[in-house]
Amino acid sequence: MIKQVSNNLIKYTRTGWHWLAGSFLCLLSSFAWSQPTDETLLNRCGVVEHERILQQRNPNRLRQLTELNQLIQKAQTDGRALRQAVDETVYRIPVVVHVVHNNASQTVGGANNGNISEEQILSQIQVLNEDYRRQEGTNGFNTSDIGADARIEFYLATTDPSGNPSNGITRHYYAQKSSFDVFNDDILLSQIAYWPSNRYLNIWVTKVDNYIGYTQFPSAADTLKGLPASSNEFTDGTIIDYRYFGKRTGTVSSSSLYALGRTATHEIGHWLGLIHTWGDGNGCAEDYVADTPPTEDRSNVSVLTNCRQTYSSCVNGVQTRDLIENYMNYWPDACMNMFTAGQVARMRLVMTLSPRRAQLLKSVLSPLTETEALTVSIWPNPITTAESSIDVQLKGSQTFNLDLFDATGRQLRSYTYTNSPSTRVSVPVTGLATGVYIVRVKTGSEMVSKRLLVQ
């Protein structure tokens, strides 16, 4: 549904707060959180409150979101959206699942164990691929004229940020907390575990207090001149309660409402730039997708426990059918089986327009190849973000050192990569003053130095 919104902003008032929120918002659910039972209605998505916190932390945030929406709207008018709609390229997203638990024995799997099994994690990856690829013969298939294959796939990362082999799962015993608050603990979770968000989709799976899922939306730019740098790249990803991650296996809740893995499908839709179909406003608001019919609100509470059809009267009082089967709604998992063609075009545009998504896409579509001579590339350069990506291409697999020096020759960072193939590494530059630095990569027989400009 497309509707004009002044300056692409929505004014939102809630319990005494008056604040401007960008078009990327997730409506706060009104259902009380309690110990879940099989049919308990839960708070599905915690983005609206967390978005307010992100904007308080980072004065750039609202403008970033607005700029991305403007870029998408421009792309829709200049033909890029149409090209994305027909582009058959399959985007394959490397995923790292950070399992954070307080099981002192550190046993894996079993009842009520936050240290979930690999089988449970793999079941969630399977659901994502069924849903995003609209796979026939699965719960992710539909026969709707407006349903579409997103041509996006997910796989557990096969190498870690240093180029070492990995199964894409990290496990972390954290004794200090038994559960986490998505509003206040996102930074803590990223301190416990984080892989560069311009190369991986980070998913933190843990016990969550107040919601079963949360995602940080993409934005148009990481920093704006004259304003403080953002640390949002370190929290860029998805947090999901371990009891609702995966499909009817391991510790997945026996709930008939949330046991099919659609919480992750929904949240990663946000990670790819989708808004709820009701537009996250006060009824009949904008979701910036032309083929999703206008929807009055998030859902009708009385039918949230089933798939009974509902209707909205947003345009001149004419009733239109709500897309209860759409992944960006709040209906039970069993009702969901669709992304529309418009949503697919938007997600694919976001992958090319949002900086960290575009960098991830570049690394996915252009894997580093072996070279006869040592080659080093730095991007972005000049850099305004908290970390720089450095491509190191070499012959076969070799051990190499990567060092960062200031203009006086003082060594600031030093890393060693053992028996590594050509790889992309990240070097943090947080806290470095504006100026010129030297990146040096040295193997047993070759050495290359490059200038890095920090702005």
Q: At which of 353, 378, 408 does a domain end?
A: 353
**pLDDT of the residue at 389:** 78
1 found inside a domain: no
362 found inside a domain: no
CATH of the domain at 107: 3.40.390.10
CATH of the domain at 397: 2.60.40.2550
Q: At which of 328, 353, 378 does a domain end?
A: 353
**pLDDT of the residue at 230:** 46
95 found inside a domain: yes
**pLDDT of the residue at 424:** 77
DSSP annotation of 266 reads H
Q: At which of 353, 380, 397 does a domain end?
A: 353
Tell me, yes or no, whether 287 and 312 share the same domain.
Answer: yes
Contacts of 385 (CB under 8 A, 6+ apart): 222, 223, 229, 233, 355, 429
**pLDDT of the residue at 46:** 56
Helix axes 341-353, 61-77, angle to 10 degrees: 120
**pLDDT of the residue at 385:** 63
358 found inside a domain: no
Cβ-count burial 363-384 (b if 16+ within 10 Å, e if not): beeeebeeeeebbbebeebebb
**pLDDT of the residue at 2:** 43
Tell me, yes or no, whether 237 and 333 share the same domain.
Answer: yes
Tell me, yes or no, whether 328 and 401 share the same domain.
Answer: no
**pLDDT of the residue at 306:** 81
**pLDDT of the residue at 5:** 30
Tell me, yes or no, whether 330 and 386 share the same domain.
Answer: no
C-alpha dihedral (204, 208, 211, 217), degrees to nearest 10: -20
Tell me, yes or no, whether 232 and 378 share the same domain.
Answer: no
**pLDDT of the residue at 280:** 67
Which residue of the set 51, 67, 233, 267 is catalytic?
A: 267
Tell me, yes or no, whether 331 and 182 share the same domain.
Answer: yes
Tell me, yes or no, whether 348 and 395 share the same domain.
Answer: no
Q: Quick: pLDDT tens for 291-307.
A: 998 888 765 444 567 88
Which residue numbers in the chain have pLDDT < 50? 1-38, 222-231, 300-302
Tell me, yes or no, whether 320 and 380 share the same domain.
Answer: no
365 found inside a domain: no
Consecutive H or E run containing 454: strand 447-454
Tell me, yes or no, whether 171 and 54 share the same domain.
Answer: yes
Domain count, the chain: 2
Tell me, yes or no, whether 298 and 399 share the same domain.
Answer: no
361 found inside a domain: no
130 catalytic? Reply is: no
Write out the residue range of the structural domain in which residue 37 sits: 6-353
Confidence (pTM):
0.71
Tell me, yes or no, whether 293 and 391 share the same domain.
Answer: no
359 found inside a domain: no
251 found inside a domain: yes
Tell me, yes or no, whether 159 and 128 share the same domain.
Answer: yes
